[in-house]
């Protein structure tokens, strides 16, 4: 690696006392471009949000023959393909596999964790340009969803977004798996018995094929329909015995759907300097359609959007971060050059 990758620890006030008992002290990976230590220049920052089922350390996992995302970022900077940036890789893991990067009483305040604690630490510790025009936030899948959440709530922090295969149009990406989750929970005797078996399988052997749609449904309910007093403080959007859709709960999910909230918060998105949206044309969760809807809505509102589709599915597409960085990095604000 031409630059350096630092590992720091962050004590997050936002995550203290969260309902799942997940740690408030988190590891933070920070990429510093070549020449950072030898100069006094300030740099723009790109924040990367991981997908559901991943954590901060997954960014540096060996990817077989392919480079991981920090290595891809480093290669782009070292080759001159993009201007130098600081890269930040926060950890949003929860005991349910992810947070959707939202504030929820069932999981914790992960939006505040990123917007306040992570950004605050990075700006205090590194030579950044602490203004929205010099910050980008990028993410894939649930991380891409989190990117749109940041655009909705925090255009004063992030002026550039890259939503890659982000969760959107919930009827297509979530609804097909709800009957599968209902069947698994019915067989296990309920949410808490299933969760105990799930954790035992993960610890002692391996997960089953029907575990992922179930834990995904539970985690999404924790993000979109939390309710104190229910098992795990979540209200599931289907009846346990019949899998009949509970419309009032499902409607609570839909409020969080980007195809619904983007049109209602266009004033926030109009404050952005650039947006990159992409998705595979063979995405197994049907996310290409939500991506198209969101891109169309933003473009119609005058937001500068680059929308791309590519011939691939949902997983194993970290190479697409290179396309996003080639688009966003040159648009990030920088220090004026001497004499300019």
Summarize pLDDT for 108-150 with one digit per residue, the tens: 999 999 999 999 999 999 999 999 999 999 999 999 999 999 9
Contact 36, 27 (CB under 8 A): no
The residues near 100 (Cβ < 8 Å, ≥ 6 apart) are 52, 110, 142, 145, 146, 149, 167, 219, 220, 223, 224, 256
Fold of 4-169+259-331: Rossmann fold (3.40.50)
Mean pLDDT, the chain, as a whole number? 96
* Tally of helices (H runs) and strands (E runs) in the chain: 13, 10
Q: What is the 3-state secondary structure of 223-289?
A: HHCECCCCHHHECCCECCCCCCECHHHHHHHHHCCHHHHHHHCHHHHCCCCEEEEEEECCCCCCHHH
In the predicted structure, residue 62 carries a pLDDT above the cut 90:
no
Q: Distance between CA atoms of 322 and 305, rounded to whole angstroms?
A: 17
Question: Token digits for 229?
Answer: 């007093």
What does the CA dihedral 100, 105, 110, 113 come to, rounded to 10 degrees? 170
Q: Distance between CA atoms of 167 and 139, rounded to whole angstroms?
A: 11
pTM value is 0.96
Mean pLDDT of 299-328: 97
In the predicted structure, residue 153 carries a pLDDT above the cut 50:
yes
Note the residue count of the chain: 340
Q: Check residue 61 and give its pLDDT.
A: 86
- Give me the residue spans of the domains in the chain: 4-169+259-331, 172-254
Q: Check residue 337 and give its pLDDT.
A: 62
Mean pLDDT of 223-251: 97
Contact 236, 249 (CB under 8 A): yes
Residue with tokens 């894939």, as numbered in its chain? 140
Per cent of the chain over pLDDT 90 is 95
Categorize the per-residue pLDDT at 340 as very low, low, confident or very high, splitting at 50, 70 and 90. Answer: very low
Residue with tokens 């009949």, as numbered in its chain? 244
Mean pLDDT of 153-169: 98
Mean pLDDT of 163-177: 98
Question: Token digits for 41?
Answer: 């220049």
Question: Token digits for 265?
Answer: 């918060």
Q: Check residue 339 and give its pLDDT.
A: 47
Classify strands 135-140 and 108-109 as parallel, antiparallel or unpaired: unpaired
With the C-alpha atoms ordered 302, 304, 310, 315, is the resulting torsion angle positive or negative? negative
Residue with tokens 């700006």, as numbered in its chain? 123
Mean pLDDT of 216-232: 97
């Amino acid at each position: 690696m031409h630059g350096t990758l630092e590992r720091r620890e962050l004590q997050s006030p936002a995550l203290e006392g969260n309902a799942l008992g997940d740690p408030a002290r988190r590891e933070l990976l920070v990429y510093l471009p070549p020449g950072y230590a030898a100069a006094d220049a300030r740099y723009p920052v790109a924040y990367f949000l991981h997908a559901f089922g991943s954590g901060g350390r997954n960014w540096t996992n060996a990817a077989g023959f392919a480079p991981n995302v920090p290595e891809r970022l480093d290669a782009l900077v070292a080759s001159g393909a993009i201007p130098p940036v600081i890269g930040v890789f926060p950890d949003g893991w929860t005991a349910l596999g992810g947070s959707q990067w939202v504030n929820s009483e069932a999981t914790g305040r992960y939006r505040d964790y990123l917007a306040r604690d992570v950004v605050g630490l990075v700006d205090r510790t590194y030579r950044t340009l602490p203004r929205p025009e010099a910050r980008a936030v990028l993410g894939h899948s649930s991380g891409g969803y989190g990117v749109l959440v940041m655009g909705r709530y925090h255009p004063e922090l992030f002026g550039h977004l890259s939503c890659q295969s982000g969760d959107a149009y919930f009827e297509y990406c979530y609804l097909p798996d709800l009957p599968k989750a209902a069947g698994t929970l019915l067989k296990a005797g309920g949410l808490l018995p299933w969760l105990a078996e799930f954790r035992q399988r993960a610890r002692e052997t391996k997960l089953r094929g029907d575990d992922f749609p179930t834990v995904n449904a539970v985690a999404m309910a924790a993000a979109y329909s939390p309710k104190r007093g229910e098992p795990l403080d979540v209200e599931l959007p289907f009846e346990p015995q019949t899998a009949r859709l509970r419309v009032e709960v499902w409607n609570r999910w839909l409020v969080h759907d980007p195809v619904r909230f983007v049109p209602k918060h266009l004033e926030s998105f109009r404050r952005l300097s650039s947006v990159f949206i992409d998705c595979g044309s063979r995405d197994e969760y049907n996310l290409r359609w939500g991506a198209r809807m969101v891109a169309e809505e933003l473009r119609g509102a005058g937001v500068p959007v680059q929308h791309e589709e590519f011939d691939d599915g949902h997983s194993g597409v970290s190479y697409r971060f290179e396309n996003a960085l080639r688009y966003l990095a040159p648009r990030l604000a920088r220090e004026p050059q001497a004499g300019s």
